[in-house]
Each structure stands twice: as structure tokens, then as C-alpha cells.
Chain A
């Protein structure tokens, strides 16, 4: 069974940096596109970034473009999100997610909370 486990969340001051990790198991990590999705407290889901299986493509939501960098290490089955210049509005639970279009292959991590204090 596929499993995704995030780590690295915590409290950081506005303007600071944080790196999230997502450890994958139970599936061939190197074959799948991976995403980061976030959810601010009491709000809906917001897609943040994706990376192709071979790292050749990376796309970002406008709200994080230029500040966040998604990366992966297929040898370690791990996805990363480097978050710089953090703003209070970046406070959210961050989920790693993999999904295949037209398929029931769809897995989420349990989420990791990032709190940006002013």
C-alpha cells in the first residue's frame, strides 16, 4: 500500500525559510508526478507545486512562484519543498500528494503544519 509521510513543519518567523520532506513507500516513487497541496486553517485546498517523475518539469501556483522550490531525490524516495521568504499567509497544513489522471491511484500524506509568525 502506498504511503506518504511529511515532515519538517513548524513555526518560523515571517521572512524565514523552511524545508519540508515527504517520504514515499509502497509504490515506485520514481515513476510518478508528485505535488504539494496546502490548506490554510479553516480554508480549502490550494495546489502549490508539482514535479515530474524525472524532475524535467516543475510548475508552481502564482502564490508561491519565485519563493518555493519543489525537488525530489528518487534514490531516497523523497519529495521536498524548500520554502523561502515565508509570509503569514503561507501558514497552512502542507500535504504531499500523488495522483494519476483518469485513475484511482491517488495518495495523500497526513500533512505537516507550517506556521509563519509575524
Chain B
């Protein structure tokens, strides 16, 4: 059972917009910033979003994110086939003194 809660799956057709939610508590998302990762099969996670809604250089602006209270969300617009991957949210947890991850959301592009 992951500390942060994500839906196990999401799907969309090319060109659509999809959102992935991430729910936490006051000790993690509620008091710390959120990062989002994309993981393609057989590879290490790749940073998509940091500081709740900032994109590293090289990440397309089709990816956006937000945070409100103890929840966060990742949005992908103009869905492309190469976006098919697992997506994880992450945050520091003040109670656990460690990083916590969501269980991951498998995005399927139909």
C-alpha cells in the first residue's frame, strides 16, 4: 500500500487530454512540494515535474501539473503514443522522514 494514492490506470486517444491524480496527507503533499516521474518499460524514472508545477528543460509543455491542499494532479494534453508509460507522484513525508511515492498510474494511449 503506497503512502500516496494514484489511480492504477488511465487512458486516452491521441490528441486527448488526460489527468492523473495523487492524493496524500498533511505530512507529505500538504506540507511539501510534489514531483512527477515518467517511467518507460525497463528504464529508470525520468523527472517530468518538480516544485509542484515546474517543468525541467526538455519536457514538452504538453505536461502540466498542479497542487491543492493534500492533492496534486498531472495533466497531459495532446496525448501522443510515446506518452504511454507509468507515471508516479512523489513527495517528502515529514512523519516518515523519507520520500514517498504514489503507487503509479499506467497510461494507455488507445
A95–B45 Cα distance when bound, in Å, is: 10
Is B51 in contact with A103, judged by CB distance below 8 angstroms? yes
Of B46, B51, B90, B97, the residue contacting A102 (CB under 8 A) is: B51
Tally of A-B residue pairs with Cβ under 8 A?
A: 59
Of A59, A61, A101, the residue contacting B32 (CB under 8 A) is: A101
Is B44 in contact with A106, judged by CB distance below 8 angstroms? no
CB within 8 Å of A: which B76-97 residues:
86, 88, 90, 92, 96-97
What are 5 A-to-B residue pairs whose CB atoms are below 8 Å? A45-B90, A49-B98, A101-B33, A106-B50, A106-B56
The answer, yes or no, to whether B24 is at the interface (CB within 8 Å) is no
Q: A95-B44, A104-B56, A104-B57 are in contact. Are A47 and B50 (CB under 8 A)?
A: no
Is A45 in contact with B92, judged by CB distance below 8 angstroms? no
The answer, yes or no, to whether A110 is at the interface (CB within 8 Å) is yes
Which residues of B have CB within 8 Å of A109? 44
The answer, yes or no, to whether B62 is at the interface (CB within 8 Å) is no
Of B35, B46, B86, the residue contacting A99 (CB under 8 A) is: B35
